[in-house]
Amino acid sequence: MTATTASPSVPQQTSSQPLWFFRKGYLQGVFWITLVALTSNLNDILMREASRLPAQEVTFFRYFFAVITLLPFMLMKAKTAFKTERPGLHAIRSLLLFGAIFSWAAAVKLVPLAVMSTFALTVPIFVLPMASVFLKEKVGWQRTLATLVGFAGIFTVVYGTSEDTNFIQSLLTLNNGTWYLMFAALLFAMSDIVNKKYVSKESNLSMLFYIALGTAIFAFIPAKMVWTLPTTQEFIILFILGAGGNLILFFLLKAFSATDVSALAPYRYTELFFAGIFGYIVYREIPTVWTFMGAGIIIVATASIAYYEIHQARKEKK
């Protein structure tokens, strides 16, 4: 076979051009945040399968194995990967994540998968005002309205899946896990804001490694106090859970580096759809009419914000 030379009139693709997935932009942010929702649902299933163990121990092993799976990548980068100018920042992020995951693991035995995913969708409600105050992001009325409409959809789903006919009463009942989930959502939102504020000042690998290491350290003593020997199957589940936790944070950091936090907030609602699918396949949970109604409201909110963002991007290019 003879080699052919390229015509000088045909432009050659430069190797420096990054793939579409790794460019900055609104659609790239949506892609990464959708992967966050998918992986989060899979991790909820794994966490439930390991729920025989105390929540403190699940939290410890999740991040212990996260450190183990990240360590080879850190060693490949040699000493530069371990360099950080913000140890205090990593400690704050780790403490927030420890509290959030511990609360989440404590709730996994107390509420259905669909309810867990529904409460996960409340995170953007906390993120939106935080992004405006702490990140000085411009939050237009379109984004605000879409997020509030999305919250109405979440309220509809939660009301339909609550065992108590009085929604407020169900929230005040500690043994149904709703307080754990609400506290976890608040801490996740605070973590999102910290990640967004410093995402461009530390490498993604460094942020992933140090938050995993810090969370494992914070969880060690609480786990030791309630230690239960895991089975071989539980060790495997916890190992996969640790790797999945790394993927969630990696996808989250990529999303936040691509576009604004507030623009992506409505897309966290896609977690509800994945929860409905997995809930039925794995646990035979059938969504109620209220779930479908809430999902419809969320679709409207998500579609409207997507249209607004794309329309604004086109106007700016003109």
Considering the chain, what percentage of its residues have pLDDT values greater than 90? Answer: 23
**Residue 193 burial (CB count, 10 A):** 19
Condensed to tens digits (0 to 9), the pLDDT of residues 67-90 reads 999 988 888 877 777 777 777 778
In sequence order, which residues have a C-beta less than 8 Å from that of residue 214 and are 6 or more positions away? 90, 91, 93, 94, 95, 97, 98
The mean-pLDDT minimum among 44-48, 125-129, 164-168 falls in 164-168
| Of 209, 185, 210, nearest in space to 87 by CA | 210
In sequence order, which residues have a C-beta less than 8 Å from that of residue 121 and are 6 or more positions away? 150, 154, 268, 269, 271, 272, 298
Residue with the two structure tokens 């919250």: 151
Condensed to tens digits (0 to 9), the pLDDT of residues 208-234 reads 888 899 999 999 999 999 999 999 999
| Of 16, 30, 94, 21, nearest in space to 62 by CA | 94
This model's pTM is above 0.85: no
Q: CA 141: distance to chain centroid?
A: 25
| Of 255, 285, 250, nearest in space to 268 by CA | 255
